[in-house]
Chains A and B, each alone.
Chain A
Amino acid sequence: MSFLDLKNITKIYPNGTKAVHETSLSIDEGEFMVFVGPSGCGKSTLLRMVAGLEEITEGEITLDGNLINEVDPSERDIAMVFQNYALYPHMNVYNNLAYGLKNRGIDKQAIEQKVNDAAKLLQISDYLQRKPSMLSGGQRQRVAMGRAIVRNPKIFLFDEPLSNLDAKLRIQMRLEIKKLQQKVGVTSIFVTHDQTEAMTLADKLAVINNGVIEQLSTPIEIYNNPKSLFVAGFIGSPQMNFMEGELKNKTLSAEGFEIKNVKSDYNGEVTLGIRPEHLSQSDNGLINLTVDLVEQLGSDNLVYGQLKDKKDFCYRCPGNLTIKKGSKLSLNIDNDNYFIFDKSSGKRVN
Chain B
Amino acid sequence: MKIKPLQISAHIILILGVLLMVVPIWISFASSTHDTVTILTEGMKFNIGEHLSRNYNEVLNEKGGWSEEVTAAKMFINSFIMALGIATLKVIISAMSAYALVYYRFKLAVPIFWLIFITLLVPLEVRIFPTYKIVSDLGLTNSYTGLILPLVASATATFFFRQFYRTIPDELLESAKLDGANSWRFFVDFLIPLSKTMIAAMFIFMFVYGYSQYLWPLIMTTSEKYWTVVMGMKIIFTESYEGVALPRTAERFAYIILSMIPPVLVVVILQKWFIKGLIQTEK
Q: Which residues of A contact B (CB under 8 A)?
A: 51-53, 72-76, 78-80, 82-84, 86, 88-90, 99-100, 103-104, 147, 151
Contact = CB atoms under 8 A, between A and B. Distances in A.
A73 B172 contact: no
B180 A100 contact: yes
B177 A73 contact: yes
Contacts, number: 60
A88 B169 contact: no
B242 interface: no
A331 B269 CA distance: 79
Contact of A82 (B171, B180, B193): B171
Q: Which 7 A-B pairs have the closest CB atoms?
A: A103-B180, A100-B179, A86-B171, A86-B175, A74-B180, A90-B193, A82-B171
7 contacts: A74-B178, A75-B180, A82-B175, A83-B171, A88-B176, A89-B283, A99-B176
A71 to B, nearest CB: 12
A76 to B, nearest CB: 8
For the complex, would chain A's binding face be called helix, strand, loop or mixed by DSSP majority? loop
A86 B180 contact: no
A87 to B, nearest CB: 8
Nearest to A95: B189
B223 interface: no
B47 interface: no
A74 B179 contact: yes
Interface of B: 169, 171-172, 174-182, 185, 189-190, 193-194, 282-283
Contacts of B169: 84, 86
A84 B179 contact: no
B193 A80 contact: no
Contacts of A76: 178
Contact of B185 (A73, A80, A82, A103): A103
A333 to B, nearest CB: 47
Contacts of B283: 89
Contacts of B189: 99
A164 B155 CA distance: 39
Contacts of A51: 174, 178
Nearest to B190: A88
A85 to B, nearest CB: 8
B175 A74 contact: no
Contacts of B193: 90
